[in-house]
Structure 1
Amino acid sequence: MKVYRDGHRFEQVEVQLVRLDRLARDGAAMALLVELGELEQGILDATHPTADGWSELERDLRLTSLTAGAAFVADWSGRSASFNLTHARRLIGALRAHELPALVAVKPPEGYVHYALDPGGYAAAARAYVAAVGPRQARRSVVVGVRSIGTSLSAVVAATVGSERSLTIRPRGEAGERHVVADRDLCSLLVDWTTARDVLVVDEGPGATGETFAAVAGWLRSLGVPHDRIVLFPSRGWGLEFAPVERRHWFEAARKFPPPNGDGLAVRAAARLGLGELVDISAGQWRAAVPGAASAPAGVGHERRKYLALDAGGHRVMLRFAGMGRWGAASFERLTALAAAGAGPEPIGCADGFLAYRWVDGRPVSRSVVSRAVSLPMSARLIFLPIESPPDSTLAAGRPAGSRSSSGRSADGTGSPAEAARAAASPDGVAQRRGIASRTGPSDRGCSPSAYQPARADFHLAIAEYLSRRIGLFQTGQPVDLAPLHSMLVENAPEALGADPPGLAKIVALLERLPEREAVVSDARLQPWEWLRTATGYVKTDAVDHGDGVRLPGPTDPAWDLAAAAVEYQPPESTVSCLVERCASALRQSERDLAAATALYRPIYAAAALGDVTLAAREAADHEDRRRFEHESRRYATALADALHRFA
């Protein structure tokens, strides 16, 4: 079943060069490292679509990334990075002398976006290598980064060992047939460089198969590099559970320097945010910290890193990884916007890819509670008024502050939801208008005040109020990409229900004729256990990044979350109609169009959710988690069949 999406995005190179210069100017060493690595990957993949090569462009890109790597290592080590950052600005500007593509496809580096991969850990691993072989031999080494994420990770390793002999390559081919293709110039360069030198191969992984590392090592051996001169820098020293036996033996015997175990990245983030000792609640451990959560399912292998901490006043804080560079910044903007709209907890700050926000005390909602929830009567539609709505709030008019029209412009003229969110959450904005005391947070980014209150006591009312506040906040200005959803549906539905399930052909035809609609970053996580029941109402948690994560749907139709609510909670159709009416008003869209889209997305959501829990059940090491996910899988299969049957 299909679960993951191709999250690549297209970037204008000139816009990115301007952004990189600004990051270097502002001293954002980690963001510069991550985003320069993305641009290097995008340019090289665009200029070398079939085989890697070497020219002055590759050389200058590499030198720029190595300088960013040196800036990061200096900052990570507690030294001034100003010299390297200034040099990086010059090199970034000099890249314009080359004939650069106008537009490049950038692949999200999953380790930075989702798995809290710490480039500082690679600096520590490189230091261990220097200690093992000596500084002189380390400086003579050749550093090969494996694109995508290996662009920036190899820059860190090269900067730490002191080598300027570095390049990146991308293994090509389908899974099971990965190999390196390089032109004569690049191969000749490697032969010249590698005589009597170690070659350090840098990537995350090795993953379940170790195929990428094996492909690069095989290529190096074909160029005459002895196997004992090949040194691996993986993100961990174990894995390869699906690899052939001989590859597992090769990896076990290979020279390798993985990052040290530990929570160094989170500890640095906590220190920058003024938080105390951390308690790791990742990988399902949060169930022990949340009353009533013991029976909630947890996909422990795919959860983001998360910690429980205390601030200086002794209040509990959630510290959760959301992505480095632009990814974490975007998540923090969404967190801030939700708080300003009265639909999320109080943000404290962000640092090193982690978000900090107030801990919410409560118990997860169970499906048994949902089944007892009071249905939303038609007469209740007029009571959806924002909590503590300021007199001038556009929420009262049905459009959340900071939302965009179909043109992508903000309703208040700020031009983007990010700018609107910052304005709405500033101490001179929503805090003063609502009479909420302004606070100064421990981060230099500031601490956004919160307008947050738990939603109404009835669960269906809570869902409707949350979605109506959220639905217009995170419009992207881009059309919905239906292709990955179509591909997922036509694969997942027959696999679950058999060939040609009734209604599938009609859904596919309707999907292909669906008018172009603007995508939003949806919540994409509306299962019952993602809600907490507090002393005064229901609270939605985990709401900032699943809608733009590594799994489907990605930025999608606003109807996605409405369809999700309909599938998850099976409310009466009158309740769904009220939800659609309220959200259509918030979006200033046709209620009829949103209702049609919601109906169409019900089977699509069910198919995506089914794929997600089916994968989780297969990967679950714990018997109880496997049983829970298998139960959810059966439930979603039934929901998928029912949703398709509506169109049969």
Structure 2
Amino acid sequence: MLVYGNRDRLENPRVVVARIAAAHRAAAAKPDGLIRHGLLVSLFIEAAELAQGLADAEFAALEEDDCTPCRDAAMAVVMELARAVARSWRGEPQPNACTLTAGLETLSVQPLPETVRIRRSEGYAFYGLYPEAHLEAAARLPPDLPAPVVVIGLRSIGTGLAAMAAVALDAAPPVTLRPIGHPFHRAVRVSARLRTALLADAGASYVIVDEGPGLSGSSFGAVADWLEEAGVPPRRIVFLPSHGGAPGPHSSDRHRRRWAEAVRPVIGFDELAHAAHGPVPPLERWFEDTLGPAVAPLRDLSGGAWRTVSADLAADVAADCPPVHAQQERRKFLLRTASGPWLLKFAGLGRLSEAKLDRARVLHQAGFTTEPIALRHGFLAERWLDGAQPPSTMPLKRLADYLLFRAQRFPAERDTGASLPDLLAMARVNIGEALGAAATVSLDRWTPDILRELSAGGRRVITDNRLHIWEWLRTTDGRLLKTDSLDHADAHDLIGCQDIAWDVAGGIVEFSLAAAEADRLCDAVGASKRLVAFHLPCYLAFQIGYWSFASSDAGAGSMRRFYEKAWKRQADRVARSSLPVGTS
């Protein structure tokens, strides 16, 4: 199944350097505390992403990792900001900005490319991975590790995480490597010069840093394989992952055995966020200045636990509750204060999360969503709607007004989502796997010429991408509000931002609109009916794949069957009509 996808963005390195310098001056003007700490972490992430982009650009040119003045200059900036984050986290005084300023100047005089491709760090964006966790985890490595300690970060996110580890260990700046090849059989390519530098001391210990491991753990394994083949004993290789689990089912026997025997301390989110660290209070106090102190323990609503609140259940989830894909849910908590109940939801670390708060405010002011309050170190606080329930029916006008508003207010750049040919390829793969190759015949009508014509007429917006009926709530005073409406166009999947026709197709499917209702929705939103007709099968195929990966939830199977039945109805209609729109 094709479901997941990564987002890259092109940046001018000199613009990023200038932005870091200006943002650091703004952060330095803030008093010690959570807000300043969050700003420093955002700066650190941006610097690490730039270092990743520059290193990958050199890798593409050289076809191997090397040590160069540009990489050294970029990592020096990352290390200085990592030290600033560590001092803030520990409540230590910050020195003046001279060292960072000098580092940025040194980086800016390098022969930088016009643009670099920066990969989004999924852990920071979606999964509640905080760089401070690797700072704390590195401090728990055995104190008798043979010196010197060489830190190796795996790009992308390992660039910054390795710097945090190096600060904790008082080690030299880390080296970063880009494992390449098949996702389950990664390898590294290291220049002779870098090999000599990494293996300069025959008695050194090696700390390999990244998020994961994932389905195979082959990125961690590739570096450890390389080190062992170079003569490093396994006992001098340790790991700093982002979770305590083993590599997934596609890992090799060699990698599983090594992982089971290796030192690999982990600091989980709960241990990190629910305790005080220097001026950074526990999570339940992050919004205390705005919302007041908690009057009840913070309640974890992650992984579908929010369903027990909505259904007013103590433990078991009712059979008719909405299904969830627990692995894809953001962390979320219910905070109760004297000012009322509040949802604290992880919106992501880094500069781009600020746009989500702005979007939330625009949607609330237009009357479509609940009230957002503030963004603090990756968490967005918004009002929790006690007593609200999903509606039994969806008024077509409310849906149309919402989609039209998004289409008008949230334009997106052209290359911020999957192309139409990529969506069609996804549909062929997912439907072929779910229902057999014969079920994909209805997709043959979408020829390359038609796709080029549709692409030329499309206009990408920040689509909602999550229009299921349980994503809407009717409040106790009768209002119909949209939940979870900020960032699914920037989720860890392949869809991304699309023409509003994608959301129209989603609305048609989720509310089983008849052909006449679908036509009225298209007209009200101003969506191209031809583009909606294309997106309908793609939407169904994506949902089939999505719920296939959510099989651990009791409702996932029924959701997949719902979309498979809708696909069959859609395919039957294609055989009878030149323009399928409705689904019922």
TM-score range, shorter chain: 0.7 to 0.9
Q: Give the Å deviation of 1:282.
A: 0.3
CA distance in 2, matches of 1:160, 1:616: 37
From 340, 346, 354, the equivalent of 1:329 is 354
Q: Give the Å deviation of 1:264.
A: 2.9
State yes or no: 1:218 paired with 2:225.
yes
CA distance in 2, matches of 1:630, 1:358: 32
In the alignment, residue 75 of structure 1 is paired with which amino acid? Answer: S
In the alignment, residue 496 of structure 2 is paired with which amino acid? Answer: G
From 470, 473, 476, the equivalent of 1:532 is 473
Between 1:523-532 and 1:265-274, the stretch displaced more is: 265-274
Counterpart for residue 422 of structure 1 = none
Structure 1 residues 577 and 632, CA gap change in structure 2 (3 angstroms) = closer
CA RMSD, aligned part only?
A: 2.3
Structure 1 residues 190 and 640, CA gap change in structure 2 (3 angstroms) = farther
Counterpart for residue 625 of structure 1 = 555
TM-score by length of 1: 0.79
From 173, 187, 200, the equivalent of 2:195 is 187
CA distance in 1, matches of 2:195, 2:420: 41
Counterpart for residue 32 of structure 1 = 43
State yes or no: 1:638 paired with 2:533.
no
CA distance in 2, matches of 1:494, 1:348: 45
From 118, 130, 133, the equivalent of 2:143 is 133
CA distance in 1, matches of 2:309, 2:189: 50
CA distance in 2, matches of 1:304, 1:361: 20
Q: Give the Å deviation of 1:486.
A: 2.8
Structure 1 residues 116 and 209, CA gap change in structure 2 (3 angstroms) = same
TM-score by length of 2: 0.87
8 Å CA contact 2:126–2:330 kept in 1: the answer is yes
State yes or no: 1:69 paired with 2:69.
no
From 493, 501, 506, the equivalent of 2:431 is 493
Counterpart for residue 379 of structure 1 = none
In the alignment, residue 169 of structure 2 is paired with which amino acid? Answer: V
8 Å CA contact 1:497–1:641 kept in 2: the answer is no
Q: Give the Å deviation of 1:466.
A: 1.9
CA distance in 2, matches of 1:169, 1:354: 31
CA distance in 1, matches of 2:140, 2:195: 29
CA distance in 2, matches of 1:156, 1:272: 23
Structure 1 residues 39 and 489, CA gap change in structure 2 (3 angstroms) = same
- Residue by residue over 1:47-83, the C-alpha shift from the partner in whole angstroms, topping out at 9 and shown as x without a partner, is 1112100111121112111111111111122223353
In the alignment, residue 522 of structure 1 is paired with which amino acid? Answer: T
Q: Aligned residue pairs: how many?
A: 540
* SS of residue paired to 2:408: coil
CA distance in 1, matches of 2:485, 2:468: 11
Counterpart for residue 207 of structure 1 = 214
8 Å CA contact 1:68–1:155 kept in 2: the answer is no
8 Å CA contact 2:134–2:164 kept in 1: the answer is yes
In the alignment, residue 334 of structure 1 is paired with which amino acid? Answer: R
Counterpart for residue 505 of structure 1 = 444
CA distance in 2, matches of 1:354, 1:630: 31
In the alignment, residue 473 of structure 1 is paired with which amino acid? Answer: R
Structure 1 residues 228 and 72, CA gap change in structure 2 (3 angstroms) = same
The runs of at least 4 aligned residues of structure 1 exceeding 6 Å deviation read none
8 Å CA contact 1:616–1:629 kept in 2: the answer is no
State yes or no: 1:15 paired with 2:15.
yes
CA distance in 1, matches of 2:571, 2:2: 17
In the alignment, residue 143 of structure 2 is paired with which amino acid? Answer: V
Question: Any residues of structure 2 matched to 1:54-453 within 5 Å, and which?
Answer: 54-83=67-96, 85-129=97-141, 132-133=142-143, 140-192=148-200, 194-242=201-249, 243-260=251-268, 262=270, 264-265=272-273, 268-274=282-288, 276=294, 277-291=297-311, 294=318, 295-311=321-337, 313-365=338-390, 369=392, 373=393
- Residue by residue over 1:316-362, the C-alpha shift from the partner in whole angstroms, topping out at 9 and shown as x without a partner, is 00101111102321222221221122221111101111111111234
In the alignment, residue 420 of structure 2 is paired with which amino acid? Answer: L
From 439, 447, 454, the equivalent of 1:514 is 454
* SS of residue paired to 2:352: helix
In the alignment, residue 281 of structure 1 is paired with which amino acid? Answer: L
Counterpart for residue 464 of structure 1 = 400
Q: Give the Å deviation of 1:508.
A: 4.0
Q: Give the Å deviation of 1:600.
A: 2.1
Counterpart for residue 582 of structure 1 = 524
Q: Give the Å deviation of 1:33.
A: 1.2
CA distance in 1, matches of 2:572, 2:16: 46
CA distance in 2, matches of 1:465, 1:33: 40
Tell me, which stretches of 5 or more residues in structure 1 are unaligned?
A: 374-457, 585-590
Q: Give the Å deviation of 1:208.
A: 2.4
In the alignment, residue 227 of structure 1 is paired with which amino acid? Answer: P
Q: Give the Å deviation of 1:519.
A: 1.3
- Residue by residue over 1:377-411, the C-alpha shift from the partner in whole angstroms, topping out at 9 and shown as x without a partner, is xxxxxxxxxxxxxxxxxxxxxxxxxxxxxxxxxxx
8 Å CA contact 2:396–2:521 kept in 1: the answer is no
Structure 1 residues 537 and 459, CA gap change in structure 2 (3 angstroms) = farther
8 Å CA contact 1:269–1:354 kept in 2: the answer is no
8 Å CA contact 2:406–2:462 kept in 1: the answer is no
CA distance in 2, matches of 1:278, 1:188: 51
8 Å CA contact 1:139–1:161 kept in 2: the answer is no
Q: Give the Å deviation of 1:224.
A: 2.4
Tell me, which stretches of 5 or more residues in structure 2 are unaligned?
A: 28-38, 275-280, 580-584
Counterpart for residue 561 of structure 1 = 503
CA distance in 2, matches of 1:467, 1:279: 32
- Residue by residue over 1:384-441, the C-alpha shift from the partner in whole angstroms, topping out at 9 and shown as x without a partner, is xxxxxxxxxxxxxxxxxxxxxxxxxxxxxxxxxxxxxxxxxxxxxxxxxxxxxxxxxx
CA distance in 2, matches of 1:643, 1:198: 64
Percent identity between matched residues is 30
In the alignment, residue 60 of structure 1 is paired with which amino acid? Answer: A
8 Å CA contact 2:459–2:499 kept in 1: the answer is yes
CA distance in 1, matches of 2:24, 2:146: 28
8 Å CA contact 1:503–1:647 kept in 2: the answer is no
Q: Give the Å deviation of 1:608.
A: 1.3
* SS of residue paired to 1:326: coil
